[in-house]
Structure 1
Amino acid sequence: MNKSVGALVLLLCASLAQAVTLRGNVEGVSGQGLRVGVWSVGPAGSAGDELASAALKGNAFTLSWPDAPPPSRAQYPLKPESIIWPGVVGNVTLSAPVTGSLANLFVYADSNGNGQRDESERLSEAFAEVGRQPLVIVWANGNTNVAAGRGFSASLKSGWNVFSVDLGRNASVKPYGGEPLNVRAQR
């Protein structure tokens, strides 16, 4: 019995250590009870399921979620024609077939203070950047490399991948390292 409990505690600690954490400031919104959340989105970009959210303190936030798969309904085969990330242009190739899921940030006013979005609460898409480089959040069920025109190359590992894309002459990809995000919310 003690070995089982010890293994469970070790497993829980390992899963907490692998949590994805974003931090930054949101601009473009104001009001009481604002929350920023990470949501699974379909290939067309429409919000699906809230994976996690955090209350804004002033305009600042720290948002974490475990490195667990998104709901199965948010997963789809990652194919060249379904990859519409910033910096992806031209011919798109994947080194191995994988199932994936894209996630975006959204902001909403939690009017009843229950810590989650209700149907009556307006959801506003938010655009996250590291400096001036757009942030991409994608989950994959296996390892693959996504390559496209202008030098775009993103090595996805199994699990959540968070990276920024430099949209200069070459579309270079840089893993997110915890830098403060600038998040612009749509009104």
Structure 2
Amino acid sequence: MTTNAIVTTPAIQRLATARAAVVKAAAAAQAAHDAHSNLLVKLADAQARADESLSDFRSGKIDEATSALRKAIADADAKDLQKMINDSAENLAQLNDASNGAMLAEANAKVAELYEQRVEEGSRLEAIISEIESKLLDAVVERYRVQAEIDPDSLKWMKIYKPSPALDELVRRGRVPGF
């Protein structure tokens, strides 16, 4: 029976937490934006009602007292709504800042996670290089032993193993091929 284990690291966990925070902050900001938009619509409606009361008075649909009462109610509603809009705008600014902070934290967590992946990959490659180097040295020693059995007088190093020019450049001068 095989199991597929999910590998998590601290960096992956921080990234997941940061992404969840971005989603939460975005949802809160969206809800606040929606509420703010609704307040703006209500303000426009209140202002339209105030304008309509004057228009109805001028056209003779309603008397002056009814017009004044409707306009006063609409103006009071508009004033209350404007205060709510101002408070909502401050809340929106805070939520937008929180959302931006969450996105920055997510970006930083992603960079850290990528760095962790690269470090892990570097360690894996270092182990492969060490294994290959060990096998190379074992093969050279075995080649030397075989050559010693064939002709002990011909044990010159360069006749037993000569590294490729690329490997020679890497070992002698520290020049990585292709870079």
TM-score (norm: length of structure 2) = 0.19
Q: Rg bigger for which structure?
A: 2
